[in-house]
Amino acid sequence: MIVVTGGAGFIGSAFVWKLNTEGIDDVVIVDRLGCSGKWKNLVTRRYADFLHKDAFLQMIQADRLPFPVEILVHMGACSSTTEPDADYLMENNFHYSCRVTEWALKHGIRLIYASSAATYGDGSRGFDDDEAGIKDLRPINMYGYSKQLFDQWCLRYGIQKQAAGIKFFNVFGPNEYHKGDMSSVVYKACNQIRETGKVKLFKSHRPEYDDGGQKRDFVYVKDCADVLWWLMEHREVNGIFNLGTGQSRTWNDLIRAVFSALGREPQIDYIPMPEPLQNQYQYYTEAKMDKLLARGCPALFKPLEETVRDYVVNYLSGQEAHL
């Protein structure tokens, strides 16, 4: 059995989709659905059972899970970079991850877990996933700090030698529609274009970047699912790895790709960045991918324009925004 925590969420449900496309439905999804719409991500998926995340934790702490588990893909977390409740993030993102990891390693279960590029903070210390550098990162929000704490915990106890941790960069694609403010700019831009015909982007407050020239490493969720599948198949590959395309692109590039996919001419309004955000804003992110590629991962990322077109045309332009 394969357990996917956060299996109704964005990346988790995309990975369940990948499993299903490979003919695998011996899957248990662990999540908390609450009043969100992410249950829709499960409608077309095939899986054996669903467990609330609290019930799953109780079962593994009592060591009474009623089925054998071969692989645990731990994607579950609160991913809001603006979540104000630090105690909640400490429990939900850090301590919960520690408990499920201890259980998985105790039983020899293959573990793949989600870290985040938010651990890199403002990027001034680079984006190198070398273990020595990971210890000294300085996240700028509590979400990033919760992920950094868990990476540091893994390094402290040598868990990175027995599991694969993934620092996801700017992931976009189907199954994110329930994320609200945390949904991608591609998703938000499509809505803006339909409503106003234009897209708003922040002006640059640094002379070396043009307005809309700030850069991110945008990576498609389907490509992320392919990498997770490869790691599942290669359980000898362990460590903490970046997951991005390895090529940063500007916000202007991204938005022009959205307009192109919609068959429209770009119309972009550049608006002032809120003052409180100016000192925390990341002007550049780019995943250094050498470490994962050196371990044999093919990581065949499609061009940004192609992935944006797939997302916009095949998901955002129809009735369904999920896989």
Contacts with 288 (C-beta within 8 Å, 6 or more apart), sequence order = 126, 127, 128, 129, 242, 246
CA distance 238 to 66: 28
209 catalytic per annotation: no
Cα–chain center distance at 259: 24
* 40 part of the active site: no
Which of 47, 96, 120, 143 is labelled catalytic? 143
Classify residue 294 as exposed, middle or buried by CB count within 10 Å of its CB (0-12, 13-18, 19+): exposed
Cα 9 from Cα 11, distance rounded (Å): 6
- One DSSP character per residue, 47-100 reads -SEEEEHHHHHHHHHTT--SS--SEEEE--S---TT---HHHHIIIIIIHHHHH
User: 161: left (phi > 0), else alpha (psi -120 to 50), else beta?
Assistant: alpha
CA distance 312 to 290: 30
Which of 40, 179, 188, 302 is catalytic? The answer is 179
The whole-angstrom separation of Cα 226 and Cα 299 is 8
The neighbour count for residue 233, using CB atoms within 10 Å, is 11
- Point out the residues that are catalytic: 143, 179
